[in-house]
Copies of this chain bind each other. A is one copy, B any other.
Amino acid sequence: MGSKIKIDRALAPIGGLLTLSERFITGDNPLGILAQAAILVRGEKILWVGKQDDVPASFDLTEADIVDLSGETVMPGLIDCHTHLVFSGSRAGEFDLRVKGATYLEILKAGGGIGATVRATQEASFDELYDLGIQRLSHMMRRGVTTVEAKSGYGLSPEGERRLLEVMRALDRDHSAEIVPTFLGAHTIPPRYKENPGKYVESVIQEMIPDVADKSLAEFCDVFCEEGVFDVTASRKILETARQYGLRLKIHADQLAASGGGALAAELKATSAEHLEYLPEAVIPAFRDAGTVAVLLPVAGLYLMMDRIPPVASLRRQGVPIAIATDFNPGSAPCLSLLTTMTLAAATYRLSTEEIIKGVTIHAARAVGREKVIGRVEEGYQADFSMFPVRDYALIVTTFGETLPTRVMKRGKWVPLASSTQPLKTVV
């Protein structure tokens, strides 16, 4: 026994394991589903995955925490690859204004929108923002999410942006959820720069990006590339600077109009481009060639009552990886549930169940630059899992956010599902 490898945890998902691993994916089995599977965990990582009958004798399971998961569907921990996690203040009233006919840009011009959140966030203390972040992450994990991309962008000054990224760093350190921090200083032009927006772009380039990079506060730089906010020229300048400082690139692109953001993402080989309701068809081949992930955000589409959806059929036909995210934010997507978002994405964008599952696992992992670490159940990957109390994984997508996981594991450890001590049973 001395030469055997000690296993910390062995999981036996009899109901079905969605590996999303190329080892198991075939034409007939696009999610790499394994029945009668076993997962062996050592430390933070997956050491072995395969059929229960094939567990090698070289593993020592005598001290392992062996978990029988009959009847459960086990899948990689979900990845919410686009959120505005850290902010203060409610903008619930805006939704009703939009229902009654006001547009996003009208609300923005009236001093609502992002500006209102910037003011409320500036007034909140570090601890208040941290506490909100902890609550939100727990809420998200309760819904199966183990990795959260989080954007700054409610500071809009060197100190303000730095503070938000520092809150994220503290959250990543203290909470079991994993945070991928993104610098989004170019979220909107703050009012004090209204007469001279170019000066704000200079501040982003000359002050904020160097500061963020120097302190290693972000992995990505994002820009809200849209008419009246940051045009293609300004966005290119910001993103090229960010790349020089070692940041990877994301773009809020072609959401409200065809503003050139999608083409810029392809040109700069951005890791991802987000929203994309107005992405021109002609840009899609360049997108695919650049390896850019299309991150679709159907909750914002719903809340903004857009009569247009992204060019899903073309993205699919041309092989662009499609990820799905909540876009959690207080204005256009005050929704913390990636599960609810998945149902909405299926119904409104006509994404298949398999596409939805890939959109919150392998493709979302790629959108946050961690496709070698998370998003699959494969040897060497992080032991991040969500376990749902259903045999038919389709129910995770069809029940509109109401099928919650019974257990969640992050980096080899069970996550205490704090906000709800008893799992909600699936009842559909």
Chain B residues with CB below 8 A from A350, complex form: 99-100, 305
Given known contacts A92-B398, A346-B99, A421 and B422 CB-to-CB distance under 8 angstroms:
yes
CB-based contact B99/A398 at 8 Å = no
Query: Shortest CB–CB separation between residue A203 and chain B, in angstroms?
Result: 30
CB-based contact A419/B428 at 8 Å = no
Binding site secondary structure of chain A: loop
What residue of chain B has the Cβ atom nearest to residue A93's Cβ? Answer: B394
Chain B residues with CB below 8 A from A421, complex form: 420-422
CB-based contact A402/B99 at 8 Å = no
User: How often does this chain occur in the complex, in copies?
Assistant: 2
Q: What is the total number of residues of chain A having a CB less than 8 Å from a CB of chain B? A: 48
A145 within 8 A of B: no
Choose the segment among A53-61, A251-259, A333-341 that binds chain B (4+ C-beta atoms closer than 8 Å): A333-341
What residue of chain B has the Cβ atom nearest to residue A142's Cβ? Answer: B424
Query: Shortest CB–CB separation between residue A399 and chain B, in angstroms?
Result: 5
CB-based contact A399/B335 at 8 Å = yes
Residue from B340, B347, B351, B402 within 8 A of A336 (CB atoms):
B402
A216 within 8 A of B: no
Residue among A299, A302, A330, A348 with max Cβ neighbours from chain B (10 Å): A302
11 contacting pairs across A/B (C-beta < 8 A)? A95-B346, A95-B347, A95-B353, A95-B397, A99-B347, A99-B351, A139-B424, A139-B427, A334-B428, A336-B427, A337-B402
